[in-house]
Every structure is written in structure tokens, then in C-alpha cells.
Structure 1
Amino acid sequence: MGDASKVVRWGILSTAKIGREKVIPGIQNSKYGVAAAIASRDLGRAMETASALGIAKAYGSYDELLSDPDIDAIYNPLPNHLHVPLTLQAVEAGKHVLCEKPIALNAEEARRLMNLPEGRLVAEAFMVRAHPQWIRAREIVRSGALGELKVVQSFFSYFNSDPANIRNMADIGGGGLMDIGCYPIVAGRYFFEAEPKRAISLIDRDPQFGTDRVASALVDFGNGRRLDFTVATQLTPYQRIQLVGTEKRLEILIPYNAPGNEGMVLRLDDGSKFADAAAICETLPVSDQYAELTDIFALSFLGEIDPPYGPADALQNMKTLDALFASEKTGAWAEIE
């Protein structure tokens, strides 16, 4: 723990798995955060989780947590349809909010977060941008080592056919694009350091759930730059990012679910030899990207740094997701404002 005068006391809305297994341990491993309270609609479950994770307070309703004057910031990992409503409720209660992705069900809903009270920060919890491997990869792109970056290519998949899982419930924002498609979109925006202009998609939907189970997209960033990606909820688990330039290619081996107990590897090659041994590999320090994320936003809440991301950034990501769903309906390119 860092300086005791620079501590953000976090309250966690719900006992969601991502919170229990990733974000709460990240807060506890961070320099400037304390997991101070957790709430569930089931008090027993909140108490059980609090006991297991060493959290001091447990509440049987979200309202009780939001009313706690000792809580500075809220982590919101609720199902997608509750992101904006509970985030706004938390802001109205005087809290800062780190909200799980996607920030909303669509761009129209995300716009409700654009007029926040002065001094209140809301941000989307894309932990990947806090990981040293993403930061280093962008440094390499900026250095010109790849030549001119022209293509960002990504694949991200898992297999989940459980009808009781919220990711398979279309009416509350389930499906692959909303759950994990948002990550490649962030990757394109992060590495190109630009906003996309139009997008086109090819989507296969589960006949029972109605959710997109395999979605492929081509996203145009202008000037010959494009992001192409596939995400899936019913394919074997796999993930990669390729950053392909006019001179070299950079590969991020585990770009999204980077484990916190080993150093991640970047691979750089010029294509002259295709053997793995020909690639120049760089291993990054061991890092807990969830701890890094919460520290960045803790320092933002504390006024030590300027917030790197806020509602405007989240809105831009939602606009691209909206365009991909619009393209599915028409079979044509959809413009992104």
C-alpha cells in the first residue's frame, strides 16, 4: 500500500466472477486502493464473498453501498443493461465509477454519461490499456520500427453454451461483440491512435439464444489502415493481436487475458524467415493489469494525474459496436460518426 493519505476506498457492486477473481484481487494488490465494501441483492452471498476476500463491509442492497459515506469509488461489474443506470446512481451518490465494458447497451445510452457533475470521473474498465505489454507495443509502433502501421488483426474466442449465463442472454446485452468484440475495437483505436470511419460485419447467431456467437468485422480507419477481427463465444479459446506494418510485424501473444504471474512476450519479425527462432522476442515484467488499472484511476480520482479515459472514450467504442450491428442488418458498410 502507498501513502495512507492517498488511498481510494472501493465499493464493489455485486459478487460477479470478474470482480471476485480479477478486479478485487487487483484492488488489493494495488498501491492506492482498498476493497472496502461489497454489495449483493443477497446479503448472505455478500457476506460470504466479503469473508472469503477479506473485505470489511458487506451490504444486502446496492443502495446501502452507494449511501456509505466512507466509499470513494465504485466498481460496477453488473450485467450490461445495468451499467449506465447504476453508474449514474453511483455518480448521484457522489462516487467515482469504474464500470465494466461495454459501458452501455448502445451509443445512445452511453451519451447519458456525458454530462457528469464536475469532479466526478466515470471510466470503462479496459484493463488491457494499463498492461505493460500494450504500452510497450504502442511505443514500438510509435518508434517507427514497424514502418507504417497498416493492419491491426485480432482473434478472441471462448466456448460458453450455458443458457443461464448472462453472456448468452440477448435481451440484456449478451453476445460476443458486446462481451469481447469491444477489446479488438479498443486495440485498433489504441494502436492507430485514431478513430474509425466505417465498419462492416459478418455475424452468425445462436438459434436458441439469439446472441452473436461468431462475429467478424472489418473496420476502416482511413488512409489504408484497417482493423480486422473475429470474436466468438462458441469456439475453442484463443487470442492474438497482430500489428502489421510496411516493414515489420509485431505479435502480442496473450493480449487480453494476460496472466498476472508471468511476463508477457512480444514478438517482432520482418518476415524474412518464418521460423519462430527468427523472431526478436521481448519479455515484459510480471504485471497485474487489474492492479495497474485501479491505480491509474485511483490517481485520477485523487487528482494526481489527468484521467486518461472517460465517458467520451467509451462512447466512441460504443459507436463502432453500433455500426457493426447496423451492418449486420443491411449487409453493407455502416458509417461511424
Structure 2
Amino acid sequence: MKKTVWGVLSTARIGVNKVIPALMQSDEIRVKGIASRDATAARATADKLGLDAAYGSYQDLIADPEIEVIYNPLPNHLHVPLTLEAARAGKHVLCEKPMALNAAEIEQLTEVAQSVHIMEAFMVRHSLQWLEARRLIREGGIGTPRIIQSQFSYNNTDPANIRNKVEWGGGGLMDIGCYPIVAGRFFFEADPVRVMALISRDKTFGTDILTSGLLDFGEGRQLTFAVSTALAPAQSVTVYGDKARLSLSIPFNQPPDAPQVITIDDGQTFIGGTAVTHTLQPSNQYQLMGEAFSRAVRGEAPLPYGIQDAALNMRIIDALFRSETSGHWEAVTA
């Protein structure tokens, strides 16, 4: 099997701590090098990870003819500009979520996406836990799914952190609110038609530190979620059907070395006596995501999620922000 050759833009922690080590475990991927605007930092990080190449600028990595795929974990406001630059150079791009600051910005990528693959890096959609949960729902394991409830939070008060910079696309909805939104689309296998949000903002940062959302998927299907950058760490996803409810253990930040558990409970006893658990062996969702993208690059499989999918995710987020101002339901516009 020919390995796809990857390069990484920036020494961002998500890449260094999670994505690059996961990609390096794969027999289908070779991570050649990493770029930084600081050549010394790039070299130190490359040495730490055992990568061959270090680039003193993003442009040097993009110009490397051996690099086929670029992973872009830069701050949100640099997602589209650097993805566009890489795509114009003929590189396929796996870009961290959210792919843009708004849906209109993503439109810049539409033309180049005709010649290269561009995918938003929602690793959860490649998770064996999520895939198995969806299979169980499809087979009627909870009856007809009607409600999805999700919560995701952490407490980050560092003013220098990119998540607290509103001009860089920081805040809870952009950083982690996108995960419950994707969960709704993934498990309902549908898209919301209208949304409503309640948002509280930090008086200093200007970012949303507590956001609750209600998404109407039509046909009596609803997603409710709450995300925060100022609460104790927690995360949950539960799908409620007319026969039972399904819950995921650690739905977003699954440890790659721990079993993954799905629980289905028909609620006949309030203390969980009727709960049935499905346990999956450990797996790395970042590795699975990288391999799925690599297979699309090699022409062995279709691209799982493209630009239009990323644009829809952003249109949903845009509508939630509009609801903050209007105080009303907002349509998810095309």
C-alpha cells in the first residue's frame, strides 16, 4: 500500500498531542514534517515527534512537492486562508473545525474543492463508538429517535488562549458547540430547519462563555445542547427514542487506550436495572479519520464529507448567532 505523505501547518497542541501521534500509528500514512513561523520551534517539535522535516514557514511546507496532504490546525481565522493557499498548490487539506468564521467565508473554497479534497476534521464521525451507536439506532434499538441532548464544557480563563479571542473565532459555540450540532446531524441523519440560541458573553473577552441551543430537525425531532468555556469539564450525548435511550461514554474526547461504551436503557427501572451495555475495544478516532481521508486521496474510497457539508455546519452556527441578536427562531438558510 502506498502511504500518503502528510505535512502539518503549525505546532498547535491538538496536532502535536493528538492528531500527529495518531496519524503516525497508521500503516497508510507518513507524516513527513511540520511547519511553524519559527524555524527553531518547528525543528524542536519535529525532533520530539520523530518527523524528518521542519519548515520555517507555512509556505515552505506547502511548496514541498512530496507533500500530498496538509493538516491545518491553525486558529479559526486562518483556516480558510491557509487551506485556500494549500489547495491552490494542489494539496489535499484536512482542516480543523470549524472550517471558517462563517458560511460565506467557506464559499472561497468551493472552486478549489473541485480539484482537491478538502474535509473538516470532525474525528467523532469516524469514531467506532459513533458508528456503532448509529447502527444500533438504525436497527431500531431505541425505536424512533426524537430527542438528542448534549453538553460539553471546560473552564479556560487564559486571556492569551485562542479560544478566548473573539476576533480569531473563539468562544464556546465555535470551539465545542459544533460537536453537538454534528451529533444531531449524524444520529438523526438529517439537517435542522430552524434554530434558537441563548448566549452569555464574557465581559472582558467578548466570547460566548455559555451557549444553549435548540435545533428543530422537523418531523418531531429536536436537539438541545449547552456548551461552556467557563464550567467544570464534562461531556455527554444521549439519544432518546420512543422505546429506549442511548448514551455514549466520553462522546467527544475518547481516550484511544480505553474501551468505548454505549448504553441502551428502556427506563423501566429508574436506577438503571434494565440498562444494556455495548463495549467496543479501544481505537483512535483521529487515526481512523486520517485513514478515511487518505483513502479518498488515493482514490480508494469516496470523500466522506466535503465542502458543502462544512458549509452547512457553519450555516447552522451562523443562524444560532443570529438568534442571539433577534431572540427568535432563525432559519438555516442555504
- TM-score bin (small chain): over 0.9
Of 118, 140, 144, 1:148 maps to 144
1:27 corresponds to: 23
Report SS of the residue matched to 1:90: helix
Deviation at 1:274, TM superposition (A): 2.1
Question: Hey, what's the Cα distance between the residues in 2 that align with 1:119 and 1:144?
Answer: 40
- Percent sequence identity is 52
1:120-269 to 2 correspondences below 5 Å? 120-269=116-265
TM-score in terms of structure 1 length? 0.98
1:330 corresponds to: 326
Structure 1 stretch displaced more, 107-116 or 47-56: 107-116
Per-residue CA distance 1:115-155 (angstroms, 9 max, x = gap): 22544000000000111000000001101111110011100
Q: Is the 8 A contact 1:132 1:285 kept in 2?
A: no
Whichever residue aligns with residue 154 of structure 1, its letter is S
Of 293, 297, 308, 2:293 maps to 297
Structure 1 stretch displaced more, 154-163 or 267-276: 267-276
Q: Which runs of 4+ in 1 moved over 4 A?
A: none
Deviation at 1:332, TM superposition (A): 0.6
Are residues 1:10 and 2:3 paired? Answer: no
Whichever residue aligns with residue 194 of structure 2, its letter is R
Deviation at 1:263, TM superposition (A): 1.0
1:38 corresponds to: 34
1:276-287 to 2 correspondences below 5 Å? 276-287=272-283
Per-residue CA distance 1:270-311 (angstroms, 9 max, x = gap): 010122443101111110111000000000000000111010
| Distance change (3 Å), C-alpha of 1:147 and 1:24 | same
- Cα RMSD, aligned residues only: 0.8
1:105 corresponds to: 101
Whichever residue aligns with residue 336 of structure 1, its letter is V
Whichever residue aligns with residue 252 of structure 2, its letter is Y
Per-residue CA distance 1:166-214 (angstroms, 9 max, x = gap): 0000011000000000000000001111111000000110100000001
Q: Is the 8 A contact 2:202 2:208 kept in 1?
A: yes
Question: Hey, what's the Cα distance between the residues in 2 that align with 1:155 and 1:146?
Answer: 21
Q: Is the 8 A contact 2:118 2:307 kept in 1?
A: yes
Report SS of the residue matched to 2:211: strand
Structure 1 stretch displaced more, 278-287 or 196-205: 278-287
Deviation at 1:249, TM superposition (A): 0.3
Q: Is the 8 A contact 1:154 1:228 kept in 2?
A: yes
Are residues 1:49 and 2:51 paired? Answer: no
- Please list every run of 5 or more consecutive structure 2 residues that lacks an aligned counterpart in the other structure: none
Deviation at 1:65, TM superposition (A): 0.4
Question: Hey, what's the Cα distance between the residues in 1 that align with 2:254 and 2:113?
Answer: 35
Whichever residue aligns with residue 259 of structure 2, its letter is G
Whichever residue aligns with residue 172 of structure 2, its letter is G
Report SS of the residue matched to 1:202: strand
Report SS of the residue matched to 1:219: strand
Question: Hey, what's the Cα distance between the residues in 2 that align with 1:252 and 1:10?
Answer: 31
Question: Hey, what's the Cα distance between the residues in 2 that align with 1:178 and 1:85?
Answer: 18
Whichever residue aligns with residue 255 of structure 1, its letter is P
Are residues 1:69 and 2:87 paired? Answer: no
Number of paired residues?
A: 333
- Please list every run of 5 or more consecutive structure 1 residues that lacks an aligned counterpart in the other structure: none
Whichever residue aligns with residue 299 of structure 1, its letter is R
